[in-house]
Amino acid sequence: MTQPVRFEGATLTYPGATIPAVNQLDLAIDEGEFLVLVGPSGCGKSTCLRMLAGLEAVTAGSIHIGARDVTNVAAKDRDIAMVFQNYALYPHMSVAENMSFALRIQKAPRAEIDRRVREAAALLDLTDYLDRKPKALSGGQRQRVAMGRAIVREPQVFLMDEPLSNLDAKLRVQTRTQIAALQKRLGTTTVYVTHDQVEAMTMGHRVAVLKDGLLQQVDTPRALYDTPVNRFVATFIGSPAMNIFQVPIVDGGVDLAGWHVPVPREVLSRASSGEVLLGVRPEAMRFAAEGAPMTVTLVEELGSDTYVYGTLARSDGSLDDVVARPWGIASPAVGATVHVAPQDVYLFDGAGAQVRLAAGG
Amino acid sequence: MIARVGRWLFLGGFVAIIAAPVYIVIVSTVKDNAQLFTNPIGLPSPIVLSNYVRMLTESSIDTSFRNSVVVTAAAVVLTLLLASLASFGITRLTRVSGGLLFGLFILGLAVPAQVNIIPIFLQFKSLGLTNSLVGLIIINIASTLPISVFILTTFFRQLPPDMFESAVLDGAGYLRQYLSIALPLSRPALGATSIFLLVIVWNDLLYPLLLITEQSKWTLPRTLLGFQGEYLTDYTMIFTGVIIASMPMVIMYVLLQRFFIAGLTAGAVKG
């Protein structure tokens, strides 16, 4: 399989900055793949996209699109189309003119332009709005025009920079599925940037997690969830976030608020100190007759889900926050003490290396 | 109540200060000199149109009017073209280089025109641009470019940069971005700037005085000055000339008022 987009050691340091915005990025994206770049604000995900688009100059490394090294190729010659966060529509042009702008610049035949605009408009349910100006459209329609503008280009790669962030929550969910379906139908390689891990998990074939300009992990959504490589990925992916407890190593396991959690010895032997970080997903925090005593502080009933928030007391008296998603049991009352026994646990090195020691348990 | 009366009195006084000279100028154009001196404020009786007849038949105001139109139209159009190109360039350059270029233009605002009259005269004389409408056009462009660049750059900076990045990805070069995006979107700012320029260039007296000696090349303000002699001033003719000279400005204001208001409030609210 060819790989239409490759970052090879791509680095960008802004003038005057000491820390690179994107550091030594190595990432290959497959033909027709929907790759999502996700991370917290300022992690460099939009910068990656802008580097690929040619809107930011790479300071080291290279970027390849198809067989071409485009590191020094001008943005307009890279054969990519981008959907911007605020859509960046041309306010003085009609929907049809917005969509056909690139083709008119290419001096494509008029019949060809008309055909492509009409096809894209039909695909995006915009046929009735072709003569309207962007200001006469709703947020969702503007977003679709921005998509349409990218589609008519028939580019090698689509780039999308948080295209759903200006939509309301309901429309966002609806548009999310539409974009994913559209991408599948068109089969165009797509790089999508978002800070929303739910968007990343639901849309991406693969998800690349970035933090402080460094690629942490790139894998399928399921694999990211099940086998995060470090504490950051573990807590960033999943909502509510994974519980993390600093726990002492005891014989044959770790001690969670007085409850013995068994861990294989060879795993524990890799720890660099007497303490490790124990990670437990909320749904793995099972309520049981015996376990660590948890004092319930808040219960959130969402209908399909229930989240129970509480605290676990350490041996020194300090409290750890904990969130659990109990299955098939009545919600405990606020103030009650319940017992939780972690089922699947993750261990991370507590010495700051944030290296996953083991998963499962 | 007292505050309200006070406000009306204050505003009324203000209106009177503005309106009184305009009234005197207008009624004086239909009085003869005798009426003007014996009854400068009252209404004319009888109404005489001889000032207008004299102005249009005996004076060279038609030539001056034509010269003014040529100089103003050419100077305003070319200034808008050059200033919009410069402003677009400034906003597309990096913050440092764009800022430096902007600063250079703005320096032009800091230097009073009168300071430069001797160098300008010498330079224009050596270039053979004295007594020439082309020379007048060039100096008007040079003197109004800084304020135009200032207004237009401020406007261009408010246009979202994403839109231009999107155009770059669509394959648009700088010229296409300027023609297809920046210019159509800056119509309100161009309209407002053109009003400023029209007033400045149309009313300009300094440069015609400095560069033009031939009467056939005089612009309107210079011709009006001709009615003011060392020993005798023909007030009715001056007033008539003022009315004729200000007509195009009044018409322009009415036509471009929409842009003027839009230009004043452009960028006031995020929209």
Q: Which of A80, A91, A101 sits opposite B185 (nearest CB)?
A: A91
Check CB contact under 8 Å for B162 and A85.
yes
| Predicted local distance difference test score (pLDDT) of residue B241 | 87
H or E stretch including A59? none
Q: Is A90 on the interface with B (CB under 8 A)?
A: yes
For the segment B165-201, what is each residue's pLDDT rounded down to a tens digit?
999 999 999 999 999 999 999 888 898 888 889 989 9
Check CB contact under 8 Å for A84 and B168.
no
| Predicted local distance difference test score (pLDDT) of residue A2 | 63
| Predicted local distance difference test score (pLDDT) of residue B264 | 55
Q: Which of B167, B169, B180 sits opposite A53 (nearest CB)?
A: B169
Which residue on chain A is closest to B174 by alpha carbon? Answer: A76
Question: Is the alpha carbon torsion for B44, B46, B47, B50 positive or negative?
Answer: negative
| Predicted local distance difference test score (pLDDT) of residue A13 | 93
| Predicted local distance difference test score (pLDDT) of residue B270 | 37
Evaluate whether B153 touches B102 at the Cβ level (below 8 Å). yes
Check CB contact under 8 Å for B165 and A84.
yes
Q: Is B94 on the interface with A (CB under 8 A)?
A: no
| Predicted local distance difference test score (pLDDT) of residue B227 | 80
User: Across chain A, where does the E strand assignment appear?
Assistant: 5-12, 22-29, 34-38, 60-65, 68-69, 80-83, 157-161, 189-194, 206-211, 214-219, 243-250, 253-256, 259-262, 275-280, 285-301, 306-313, 319-324, 337-342, 345-349, 356-359
CATH fold of the domain at B60-265:
MetI-like fold (1.10.3720)
| Predicted local distance difference test score (pLDDT) of residue A21 | 93
Residue corresponding to tokens 């470090």: A230
Nearest-angstrom CA–CA distance, A145 and A129: 10
Evaluate whether A97 touches A121 at the Cβ level (below 8 Å). no
Domain with CATH 1.10.3720.10 in chain B: 60-265
Residue by residue, pLDDT tens for chain B (271 residues) are: 888 999 999 999 999 999 999 999 999 988 888 888 888 888 888 888 888 888 888 778 889 999 999 999 999 999 999 999 999 999 988 888 999 999 999 998 888 888 889 999 999 999 999 999 999 999 999 999 999 999 999 989 988 888 999 999 999 999 999 999 999 998 888 988 888 899 899 999 999 999 999 989 999 899 888 887 767 778 888 888 888 888 888 888 888 777 766 655 544 443 3
What ipTM describes this predicted complex? 0.81
Q: Which residues fall within 8 angstroms of residue B17, CB to CB, at 6 or more apart? A: none
Evaluate whether B226 touches B233 at the Cβ level (below 8 Å). no
What is this structure's pTM?
0.80
Question: Is the alpha carbon torsion for A168, A171, A177, A183 positive or negative?
Answer: negative
Q: Is A274 on the interface with B (CB under 8 A)?
A: no
Give φ, ψ of A349 to 5 degrees.
-65, 125
Q: Which regions of chain A are under pLDDT 50?
A: 352-353, 359-361
